[in-house]
Amino acid sequence: MFHHAMKTADNNSPHYRTCNLTEAMCGIEITVRADKSLDIRGDKDDPFSRGYICPKAVALQDIHYDKDRLKHPVRRTQNGWQRIGWDEAFNEVAQNLKRINRKYGRNSIATYLGNPTVHNYGALLFAPGFIRSLHTRNRFSATSVDQLAHHLAAYLMFGHQLLLPVPDLDRTKLFLILGANPAVSNGSMMTAPGVGRRLQQIRQRGGKVILIDPRFTETARLADRHLFIKPGTDVLLLLALLHVVFEEGLTDVGPLAAFTKGVETIGNLVAEFPPEKVASLTGVDSSQIRLLAREFASAESAVCYGRIGVSTQEFGGVCQWLINVLNIVTGNLDRPGGAMFTLPAFDPLSAPESLAPRGSFARWHSRVRNLPEFAGELPVVTLAEEILTEGPSQIKALVTSAGTPCYRRRTAVDWIGR
C-alpha cells in the first residue's frame, strides 16, 4: 500500500494509505516534500486508528529510500552478489527446484514465510498456491514462533484455526492481560491501534486494567494493578483462577450453554489447583488470586487476553485454551465487553478450504524431533536440524519469503540450493 503511494506521489497533495508493517493497520497520510523526503502522519479520519501511528510508520521512508533495498534479483557468486535478470532468476530457481525434487524427493524442498506475508495481498494470495505445488511437508513460517498456541486452541475449541476471539476493548469493564505488552505492540492478535488511549478509556469509564507480567512494562504504567508472576507459571495461575470461579459457584456460561460441552469436567480438573497451592510457585499471593477471580467473574463485562509471554512457554497451548475457558465460564465469550468474534469482510468460515484451511493437528511429525504439524506446517524451531541432519527427506533447498529464519538481514526471495 505504501508502495502505491510512492508511485503516485508526484504532487503536494496528501496520499492516504495504510501502514502495512503490523496488524494494527494504522491509516497514514503521506505528503512528499520538495526535497523528496516524506511527511508521514496519522490519518485522523481513519475510523480504525483515528490518527494514531507509532514511530515505525514515520520510518517507512527509511525502508523506501534504503540504499540496500533489493529491487532486482541477485545471485551469490565467489566474488559477491551479482545482478541477474528476472527471467534468468525464475529459470534458475525453477530448474534447481525440479532437480532437487527429482534427486532427493519432494520433502527436500522447504519453505519459510515471514510475518510481512500476511500484510501483502500478493503474497497472501499466491504464496499458498506456490507452496502447495511443491507438495512438501517441510513448510515453516513465523506463525509457529509465537502464535500457534492461539490457533491450536481456536481449532480445538471452536472448530477453525481463525476463529480467534478478540477483546472488546472499547466496551469492557475489566481487561485482564497476561504476558502481553499492548501499549507497545498495539494489540497483537487483537488489532488495536492506539491501545494506550483505549486502556485509559477503560479506566475513565470506571473499569479496570489488570496486568500479570514478570516485568514492569509500558503497559504496567497504564494498568490499575500489576501482579508480578514467575515466568512460565501462568498456566498455574489460570488454573487457580478457574478453581476459585468453580469453588465459589461463580460460573455463568449464559447463552453459550446450548453449545458448550465439558464445563463440569473443567470444574473437576481445576479442583486440584487452589490458589494456596500455586501461590509459592507463581509468586502471586493466594489472596490476590482469589480477589482477581471474584472481580473477573462479577464484573459487568470482562475479558482475559494473553499473548507472547504465555504462548511461548512450555504450556503455551494450554494457557491459551484456559484463557478461552475463563472467558467462557464467566459468560464473557461472544458478548459486548468480552472476547468477541469479528465480522470480517473476508469470512474464513465460508471461504474455500484452500484459501482459509480449518486447521489440522499431528497428521504428521517432523523427521528429527518428532514435532507435530499444525495446519500443514511444522514448528520453525526444528528447521535448522532438518537442514543439518542427514538422511531421507533432509532439507536441501529452502525458499524464504519476507522472513529471516537465519536471523540475517534479507528483504526478498532468498534462494539456497545445494
Which residues of this protein are in contact with ligand SF4, per CB under 6 A?
A: 19, 21-22, 24-26, 53-54, 56-57, 186, 193
The residue among 56 and 410 lying less far from ligand SF4, judged by its C-beta, is: 56
How long is the chain?
A: 418
- Calculate the CA 248 to chain-centre distance: 34
Taking the C-alpha atoms of residue 256 and residue 329, their distance in angstroms, rounded to an integer, is 9
Residue pair 45/9 in contact by the 8 Å Cβ criterion: no
Based on CB atoms, which residue is closest to ligand SF4, 48 or 104? 48
CB 305 within 8 A of CB 138: no
Amino acid at 397: A
**Cα–Cα distance measured from residue 130 to residue 112, given in angstroms and rounded to the nearest whole number:** 12
User: 130: which residues sit within 8 A by CB, 6+ positions away?
Assistant: none
Q: How far apart, in Å, do the first and last CA atoms of the chain sit?
A: 36
| Eight-class DSSP state of 346 | S
Backbone angles phi, psi at 188, to 5 degrees: -55, 135
Residue closer to ligand SF4 (CB basis): 119 or 365: 119
Rounded to whole angstroms, the Cα distance separating 138 from 68 reads 30
Q: Which is nearer to ligand SF4, 45 or 88 (CB)?
A: 45
Min dist CB 116 to ligand SF4, Å, is 11
* Angle between helices 275-282 and 234-247 in degrees, nearest 10: 160
Q: How far is the CB of 208 from ligand SF4 (least distance, A)?
A: 25
* 25 vs 113, beta carbon nearer ligand SF4: 25
Task: For residues 241 and 239, give the distance between their C-alpha atoms in angstroms, rounded to a whole number.
Answer: 6
Cα dihedral angle (189, 191, 195, 197), rounded to 10 degrees? -150
Closer to ligand SF4 at the Cβ: 193 or 379?
Answer: 193
Q: How far is the CB of 130 from ligand SF4 (least distance, A)?
A: 26
CB of 22 to ligand SF4, least distance (A): 3
Residue 21 vs 113, nearer CB to ligand SF4: 21
CB of 27 to ligand SF4, least distance (A): 9
Computed from CA positions of residues 86, 89, 94, 95, in that sequence, does the dihedral angle turn out positive or negative?
A: positive
CB of 49 to ligand SF4, least distance (A): 6
Q: How far is the CB of 404 from ligand SF4 (least distance, A)?
A: 18
Do the Cβ atoms of 377 and 144 come closer than 8 Å? yes
What is the full DSSP assignment across 161-214? Answer: TT---EE-TTT-SEEEEES--HHHHS-TTT--TTHHHHHHHHHHTT-EEEEE-S
Q: Which amino acid is at 362?
A: A
Cβ at position 6, least distance to ligand SF4 in Å? 16
Our CB check for ligand SF4 shows the closer of 60 and 134 to be 60
Give the shortest CB-177-to-ligand SF4 separation in angstroms. 17
56 versus 230: smaller Cβ distance to ligand SF4: 56
